[in-house]
Amino acid sequence: MKSRFILITLFLCCCLVRSGAENYPYRSDVLWVTVPDHADWLYETGEKAVVDVQLYRYGIPEDAVVSYSVADDMMKGDVDGTVKLSRGRARVNIGTRKTPGFRDLRLTATVGGKKYSHHIKVGFSVDKIRPFTKEPADFMEYWKDGIDEMRARPLAFTKELAREYCTPKMDCFLVRLELNGRGQAVYGYLFIPKDAAAGSCPAVLCPPGAGIKTIKEPLRHRYYGENGFIRLEMEIHGLDPRLPEPMFRDISNAFNGRDNGYLANGLDNRDRYYMRRVYLALVRALDLLASLPQWDGTNLAVQGGSQGGALAIVAAALDSRVTQCVVNHPALSDMAAYSAGKTGGYPHFNKMMGMMTTDNIRTMAYYDVVNFARHVKADTYMTWGYNDDTCPPTTSYAVWNVLSCPKESLITPINEHWTSDATEYGQFEWIRRHLRKKP
């Protein structure tokens, strides 16, 4: 196992805009800098963590009063205090943990009459973090039965040229993939290198992040198709991505609100839960890729972030043909942990009234990514940050620590819920380096 820890200091970040490179933070008067006394932001349980806090306005140290609270990852604060900055800096002792996990230092200061906030998470004995969620005895049998039932119907899809996304090096097709005999389907943009010979191309499935939305920026990862890869950028709701953006907003507002979101739809029953069709659709999408004459017959990768990262792990667990699995901060991980007063994963059902019922928790176990991670055999590359409040680092480690496949990590502590373009291109390069030779 290889782990690369990349610490990105705030002073070295920059944003590229049309006018050229601009200093970080982008067009803000105030800059926070928080530096733990352990360079990798990691401690053993029982060790005390101290964070150097710096605050600048216009690049000049600001002697403000900073209010702070300290909390376990995603939990309510249990320690509160204030500190007066001297020459723009102070040190805050955030204590320790007796159990593996993360502590979150949350900072607030008023500068020039405006309130500014910042936070930083540090980890304790993170290699010992284990998920709360347990695997049902019939877990893989349940999913095998679902796949067999789906495959009882022949693979069926339509494919039409999407000229607006073709380039001199690749063709793009809008695909509608049938899922069952009830008219349900998913759409995707399929990129195939121009004039690719039969059996010459690795294939990559890219499932989407959370939400009801169009497939945004289909050409964002054009370097796959333009470097000899087949790539399918898919959606999961059966909505044509060519629909106008206002229509997607209306649909999302109507069917994906706080109290009626698709990730909660049918959660009381494992057979009626919304995500059942989504998980099975991943296997069907892999069937589509494997049916293409240009596929090399060996390399079938999955790649995604957040919900897409969760779905990448699900696909790799359910389909033994997957050879490479690339994941950013996976969602849907250890979701029921909140029921035990522990840190849980997105979509944070603890924030939704009445969701932590016995029936719902039972269903969650059949859809939780930590249970799928236990069955992944593909080479896996996973990236996550510590400051993430959407897919918290505690749940990323819960996934990472149960993976028993060949695995590598890229940990970017300062990152919240995002990855850079450079990181995502690096994932493409990782897949290319890990391609398997055709038998």
Positions annotated as catalytic residues are 306, 388, 417
Residues in the chain: 439
Phi-psi region of 41 (alpha: psi -120 to 50; beta: other; left: phi over 0): left
403: helix, coil or strand? coil
175: helix, coil or strand? strand
Q: Give the separation between CA 224 and CA 56, rounded to whole angstroms.
A: 41
The overall longest dimension of the chain from CA atoms, in Å, is 70
Terminal-to-terminal C-alpha distance of the chain: 25
- What sign results for the dihedral spanned by CA atoms 316, 322, 323, 328? negative
Q: Give the separation between CA 271 and CA 423, rounded to whole angstroms.
A: 37
Name the strands in the sheet holding 114-124, side by side, starting at the edge strand that comes first in the sequence: 42-43, 114-124, 101-111, 65-72, 79-84
Four-point Cα dihedral 45, 47, 50, 51, nearest 10: -30
Q: Give the separation between CA 137 and CA 340, rounded to whole angstroms.
A: 21
User: What value, to the nearest 5°, has the Cα angle with vertex 295 and ends 294 and 298?
Assistant: 150
- The one-character DSSP state at 154 is P
71 strand-pairing partners: 104
- The one-character DSSP state at 435 is P
Q: How do beta strands 65-72 and 101-111 pair?
A: antiparallel
Q: Give the separation between CA 438 and CA 296, rounded to whole angstroms.
A: 7
Cα→Cα distances 249→176, 246, 260, 308, Å: 21, 5, 15, 20
